[in-house]
Amino acid sequence: MVVELELPSALALVRAHGRPLLDIVRRSSGLLYRGEALSLGGGGKGGGPRAVTEKPDLLDAETYGSAVAAEYFRAADAIMDKDFQAPARPSNAHIMVSNKEAAAAWGTACSIWPLGDSLDYSWLHSCAELWDPRWERPGSRSSPPNGNREAFFWRDEDGMRRFLAEGLRINSGLSEAIRGRHEVLVRSGEFSFGSEARKGAVIQDTFVCIPASEDRAVRSALGIPAERIPYR
């Protein structure tokens, strides 16, 4: 579901229903982004802010164009659930990143604002990216910032468990992840379109996306300070 918005309406939604992330962003000064396909076609205006309800897709091979990547995320999801009880994991969360250029590789870079009464997130302190294409190349190894890992390491369950034990952060350190430009798995709480007098359907996985070209206006309207230079 996509609902096109004017910028003032998008900002009002963030103020009213995006507080869990907004409070953290104000402290870190960095925004979280995704690459979005903004053109709706079929007569839609396209190109502007919108509210999007979208199911997570990291377990689908089409997302990264790789069945191996989907296999990796399924392995990570199982252990994050069983061993770490992570509320946000590949099966129920979306990837966001404070690196605007990285987000732009997937579409128009947009700041992303999950809507709802709660926010769960997971990220890897030991890796900047949650998936490295070198992990599916036989004989290859990843290198910093994604750690020194052999290809297919997750096919050994203990290897995946050690990988997560070394770097997984659950609902902690999001300001650090934003400043360090790590990818983050984010899951929003429940949200209802409609007024108090006329409640709409309660839904999850809804977020406001605002094109990065509006970043200056977003920061000014939401009280977010100028971005600090990320540390290394």
In a domain, 229, yes or no: no
Note whether 96 and 186 are within 8 A (CB).
yes
- pLDDT confidence of residue 217: 97
In a domain, 227, yes or no: no
Note whether 98 and 32 are within 8 A (CB).
yes
What's the domain count of the chain?
Answer: 1
HSE-up of 29 (CA within 13 Å, CB side)?
9
Note whether 228 and 30 are within 8 A (CB).
yes
In a domain, 231, yes or no: no
In a domain, 193, yes or no: yes
Closest CA to 2 of 58, 45, 31: 45
Structure tokens at 14: 């963030």
- pLDDT confidence of residue 45: 54
Render each residue's pLDDT in the chain as its tens digit; 232 residues. 889 999 999 999 999 999 999 999 999 999 999 999 876 443 445 689 999 999 999 999 999 999 999 999 999 999 999 999 999 999 999 999 999 999 999 999 999 999 998 999 999 999 999 999 999 999 888 877 887 889 999 999 999 999 999 999 999 999 999 999 999 999 998 877 665 444 555 677 899 999 999 999 999 999 999 886 554 4
Q: Which domain holds residue 20?
A: 2-222
Alpha-carbon distance 97 to 136, whole Å? 22
In a domain, 228, yes or no: no
Dihedral of the alpha carbons of 92, 124, 129, 100, in degrees to the nearest 10: 80
In a domain, 186, yes or no: yes
Cis, peptide link before residue 133, omega less than 30° from 0: no
Query: 152-190: b or e for each residue (b if 16 or more CB lie within 10 Å)?
Result: bbbeeeeebbebbeeebbbeebbeebbbbbbbbbbbbee
- pLDDT confidence of residue 197: 41
In a domain, 140, yes or no: yes
In a domain, 56, yes or no: yes
- pLDDT confidence of residue 196: 46
